[in-house]
A = this chain, B = another copy of it.
Amino acid sequence: MIIQLENDLKEQDRQSLINKVKTEGFTITEVNTQVGAYLVCISKNSSDIRKIGSLPGVVDVHIVSDSYKLVSAKWKLTPSSILLDDIQIGGSDFTVMAGPCAIENEAQVDSIAQHLVANGVRIMRGGVFKPRSSPYSFKGLGKEGLVMFYNICKQYDLKIISEVMEADQIEQMYNFVDIFQVGARNSQNFNLLHALGKTDKPVLIKRGTSGTIDELLQSAEYIFSSGNEKLILCERGIRTFENASRNTFDINAIPILKKKSHLPVIADPSHGIGIREHVPAIALAALAAGADGLMYEVHEKPEEALSDGQQTLNFIESTDLLKRIKQLYDLL
């Protein structure tokens, strides 16, 4: 059960309300986000929500039977959206984020930033902390690389999304990113998710390679219930028996997530198929299936990229994709 509270509720009235609900046998999690205040109430018993709804300080009460609560579309029927200045993510807009897998050097960032600006993309992606299966692989330029990335993006008025790998990095990165990205391998790193609930910046959460749709929503619930409701879900392919592609992009997840949750859903076709020439097909498919946006990898010379070159578009391919995306978006 979710109880939406009046935002200006006095502490005394709040405690009195909480006490009343507790006597009904509920365990209560108090949630205060950028936007609202909620009580998430868990109990094995059912309760008369009308009685609770009429208590002072209560805006509304909702029964949510899902394992996730605050991110469920069962209580919040209209889609959520996030504003980065005048850029809207979710709602009726379609948002593109693009950039290299990893930030490599100034020249690389600058050329890609120019490409994005020239094509109307407003958010640039780029990793400086790279999770790599092998300890001997390139692990990114770290904080220093992020500052460089930030400085260039500022010149071009580009917003930044970049991956955070552990709670300690949040503070380091805070002034230099606009969206924190949680990678697939950290999709159930609950300590990291909890810590991200304490920031006020948006968080994009990638689905784990073997994470179910419900688990992704529960991971989002971790962040929301810790205080941050600026959330974006990202489908990026799951691990299956099929080896013809790097991952199996779960196109089904797009309409299912949109139905189950009010959060915006972004597609990552680069990881989703992992084959450069087929990335545009998956990007268009995701848009047709109802995604709220796209995050893909682009590089001036993909064949020279330090990582993920085989799934990274060059500028010509990227420009062409953006044109087709625009046409399709206008139609839909």
Residues of A with Cβ closer than 8 Å to B?
A: 27, 29, 40, 42, 67-69, 131-136, 165-168, 185-186, 188-192, 194, 208-210, 212-215, 218, 221-222, 225-226, 238-245, 248-256, 259, 272-273, 275, 277-278, 281-282, 284-290, 327-328, 331
Q: List 28 A-B contacts (CB under 8 A).
A: A29-B135, A133-B215, A134-B221, A135-B222, A166-B191, A166-B192, A167-B168, A185-B190, A186-B189, A208-B210, A210-B210, A212-B244, A214-B244, A238-B242, A238-B248, A240-B241, A242-B250, A248-B248, A248-B250, A252-B272, A252-B273, A252-B282, A254-B285, A255-B273, A255-B282, A256-B275, A256-B278, A281-B290
Taking CB as reference atom, which chain B residue is nearest A67?
A: B134
Most interface-central of A42, A209, A241, A256 (chain B CB within 10 A): A241
List 10 tightest A-B contacts by C-beta distance, closest first: A210-B210, A288-B288, A285-B285, A285-B289, A255-B281, A251-B251, A284-B288, A255-B278, A185-B188, A166-B191
State which of B208, B218, B249, B256 has its C-beta within 8 Å of the C-beta of A135.
B218
Whole-angstrom distance between the alpha carbons of A289 and B133 in the complex?
28
Closest Cβ–Cβ distance, residue A160 to chain B (whole Å) = 21
Assembly stoichiometry (copies): 4
- Chain B residues within 8 Å of A69, by CB: 136
Closest Cβ–Cβ distance, residue A280 to chain B (whole Å) = 9
- Chain B residues within 8 Å of A191, by CB: 165-166, 168
- Chain B residues within 8 Å of A251, by CB: 249, 251, 282, 285
Taking CB as reference atom, which chain B residue is nearest A237?
A: B252
Given A277-B259, A288-B285, the answer on whether A240 and B244 have CB atoms closer than 8 Å is no
Q: Are A244 and B273 in contact (CB under 8 A)?
A: no
- Chain B residues within 8 Å of A259, by CB: 277-278
- Chain B residues within 8 Å of A273, by CB: 252, 255-256
- Chain B residues within 8 Å of A281, by CB: 254-255, 288-290
Q: Are B248 and A240 in contact (CB under 8 A)?
A: yes
- Chain B residues within 8 Å of A256, by CB: 244-245, 273, 275, 278
Whole-angstrom distance between the alpha carbons of A183 and B248 in the complex?
22
Q: Are A136 and B282 in contact (CB under 8 A)?
A: no
Whole-angstrom distance between the alpha carbons of A50 and B166 in the complex?
42
Taking CB as reference atom, which chain B residue is nearest A193?
A: B135
Q: Are A190 and B165 in contact (CB under 8 A)?
A: yes
Taking CB as reference atom, which chain B residue is nearest A225?
A: B135
Q: Are A133 and B67 in contact (CB under 8 A)?
A: yes
Closest Cβ–Cβ distance, residue A152 to chain B (whole Å) = 26
Q: A135-B222, A248-B250 are in contact. List 19 more A-B contacts (CB 8 A).
A: A29-B135, A69-B136, A135-B194, A135-B221, A166-B166, A185-B188, A214-B244, A238-B240, A238-B248, A240-B240, A240-B241, A243-B243, A251-B285, A252-B272, A255-B281, A256-B275, A284-B288, A288-B288, A288-B328
